[in-house]
Amino acid sequence: MGKIRSTPHAVRAAATHADAAASLAARPLMLSLPEQIAAQLSARITSGICAPGQRILEQAVAAEFSVSRGPVREALRLLEKDGLVTILARRGAQVTNLSIAEVREIFDIRAALNGLRDRGIAEDPTRLKLLPLIAAEIENLARYARDPKRGDDYVETVFKLNRLLTAASRSARLRTILDALAQQTLRYSRLGLSTAQRRRQSVKHWQELLKALRAGDGERAQRTAERRVLDSRDAAIERLQELAQR
Amino acid sequence: MGKIRSTPHAVRAAATHADAAASLAARPLMLSLPEQIAAQLSARITSGICAPGQRILEQAVAAEFSVSRGPVREALRLLEKDGLVTILARRGAQVTNLSIAEVREIFDIRAALNGLRDRGIAEDPTRLKLLPLIAAEIENLARYARDPKRGDDYVETVFKLNRLLTAASRSARLRTILDALAQQTLRYSRLGLSTAQRRRQSVKHWQELLKALRAGDGERAQRTAERRVLDSRDAAIERLQELAQR
DNA sequence: GTCAATAAGATTGTTGACAATCTTACAAGA
DNA sequence: TCTTGTAAGATTGTCAACAATCTTATTGAC
């Protein structure tokens, strides 16, 4: 492949938020070389082109993108920060491969922080202009959940909804952490939503969340969010264990 | 100053935990060059030798430690991961300077995750051998709280206790995140415990937590931990606003 | 046949030089 | 006086070569 001159997205995603007050530094529209490389690799990893456990050689990546190893090194550090890549001293980088226990850990943290996030949104007076957007997506969700063949649409919409809510959080730090954790569990969340039954269960949680958000009930939004993530955790792990048995 | 041949600590701290099961990779006893540099800088920042907002020049650090800029760059990335340093593209690094809103954000996240952590410990059957250690430190706390002159001892013991509990968590990811967040709020936590009255309030929370831990009551441990952190948040912010008014 | 020592190759870690970019100071014009 | 333009210096970004370390394959001994 030739030089990088396209496709900025995933890496910068953490910075594209929809807030107003706190964020002082304007986000740069240009991506640095390491960021561009990281974005490319990120896409491959989350899409599954690069399998978990697969090694990533600095030399090879540098050659592919026609840059030196310096920017590649930094790109790998960026991906490590997102948890997509694991770096071992003097042994190089590889696509992160999570154990079932680790998947559980991440979902537990996500549950707690999604609760914090959604409580914050429920208690935010400026949330009202977001609610129609959220409601619309949840309507889509309900429609997709009724059609067993639209599983992929359902999953993508859930992800979108999650990104929407995270971007709506007032806390830049919460956004950063949640985006990273969500990306790490992308593949497993997908696994947990692979049956129509699970999707019908999931849509109920979302509808309940919407109600709490509308009512401005922070505590309830928090509880609902936590339950939702914990549910998806259990679904993911169940499927994971099925797969592991073979 | 001359070459680095001493003082490893802060940076490696995140890896020195007291768990058993999950962690596969044995922690390396040697610190890489970047880690050593990061440890040195970390000490200066958390101790206040380097003031918030102060710029950190790669060249200068490289010269001081007699290394090239490569390892220094990486050290700064490590510190950025811990939130101790802020890196701006093409404008270099500086010691992180948090706004009051950001301090609040971090404490909120810490509250949620400390809750998760302490619930996990309360529900962990193997926690029993830790309880005496924790109980002893809380006894110390109670003693220090009674003596207005032992404020520093109180604060250091609180930090120690926190590190102890974080290290006891089964989740490596939780440990990593919590260590980073705790380090970022070190100076502010200290601020919140600067009056004898606050310390007497604080020790009550710790005693209640100990009870919940002994009883194995996860829910209660979680609630207590959350309240404790939120309390220290409010104390810190109150002091911060007092200081800002002058 | 299994295990340990060894050597060759592969890969990351470090370095110093060069390029690109940003900051600052200063001067000229409106 | 304020803004704009310019140039010098400072600082980070990138590169290619070298050093240190790890992995793997092979050999030899038990």
Q: Is the pLDDT of residue B2 over 80?
A: no
Asked if residue B108 lies in contact with residue A104, where contact means CB atoms within 8 angstroms, the answer is no
Picking from B108, B116, B174, the nearest residue to A171 by CB comes out as B108
pLDDT, residue A27, reads 40
Picking from A106, A115, A171, the nearest residue to B105 by CB comes out as A171
**A176 and chain B: CB distance < 8 Å anywhere?**
no
How far is it, in rounded angstroms, from Cα B64 to Cα B43? Answer: 16
Q: Is the pLDDT of residue B4 over 80?
A: no
How far is it, in rounded angstroms, from Cα B14 to Cα A113? Answer: 21
pLDDT, residue B26, reads 34
**B20 and chain A: CB distance < 8 Å anywhere?**
no
Of the candidate ranges A18-32, A208-222, B22-36, the one whose mean pLDDT is the lowest: A18-32
- The overall average pLDDT reported for chain B is 88
What is the pTM for the complete model shown?
A: 0.87
Q: Is the pLDDT of residue A19 over 70?
A: no
Q: Is the pLDDT of residue A30 over 80?
A: no
Residues B141-165: pLDDT tens digits? 999 999 999 999 999 999 999 999 9
Q: How far is A101 from chain B (nearest CA, A)?
A: 8
- Which tokens hold the place of B47? 């101790």
Q: Is the pLDDT of residue A15 over 90?
A: no
pLDDT, residue A31, reads 85
pLDDT, residue A29, reads 53
Average of pLDDT values for A101-105? 96
> Is A177 within 8 Å of B173 when comparing Cβ atoms?
no
> Is B109 within 8 Å of A177 when comparing Cβ atoms?
yes
How far is it, in rounded angstroms, from Cα B241 to Cα B229? Answer: 18
How far is it, in rounded angstroms, from Cα B117 to Cα B122? Answer: 9
Question: Residue A92, by phi and psi: left (phi above 0), alpha (psi -120 to 50) or beta?
Answer: left
Residues A63-78: pLDDT tens digits? 999 999 999 999 999 9
For residue B82, the 8-state DSSP code is T
pLDDT band at residue A4 using 50, 70 and 90 as cut-offs: very low
Picking from B112, B171, B172, the nearest residue to A113 by CB comes out as B112
Residues B203-222: pLDDT tens digits? 999 999 999 999 999 999 99
- The overall average pLDDT reported for chain A is 88
Q: Is the pLDDT of residue A6 over 70?
A: no
Residues A209-246: pLDDT tens digits? 999 999 999 999 999 999 999 999 999 999 999 998 87
Residues B92-118: pLDDT tens digits? 999 999 999 999 999 999 999 999 999
**What percent of chain B is modeled with pLDDT above 70?**
88
**A48 and chain B: CB distance < 8 Å anywhere?**
no
pLDDT, residue B46, reads 86
Nucleotide nearest residue A32, measured CA to C1': D13
Decide: residue B136, CB within 10 A, 0-12 exposed, 13-18 middle, 19+ buried. Answer: exposed
How far is it, in rounded angstroms, from Cα B127 to Cα B213? Answer: 8
* Angstrom distance, A64 CA to C30 C1': 53
Protein-contacted bases of chain C (C-beta within 7 A): 11-17, 21-23
> Is A112 within 8 Å of B108 when comparing Cβ atoms?
no
The residue ranking higher by pLDDT, A16 or A155, is A155
**B28 and chain A: CB distance < 8 Å anywhere?**
yes
pLDDT, residue A203, reads 97
pLDDT band at residue B29 using 50, 70 and 90 as cut-offs: low
> Is B22 within 8 Å of A81 when comparing Cβ atoms?
no
Q: Is the pLDDT of residue B3 over 60?
A: no
pLDDT, residue B246, reads 76
Average of pLDDT values for A174-187? 94
pLDDT, residue A11, reads 37
Asked if residue B113 lies in contact with residue B178, where contact means CB atoms within 8 angstroms, the answer is yes
CA of A30: which chain B residue's CA is closest?
B89
Nearest to B240 by CA among B40, B99, B96, B49: B99
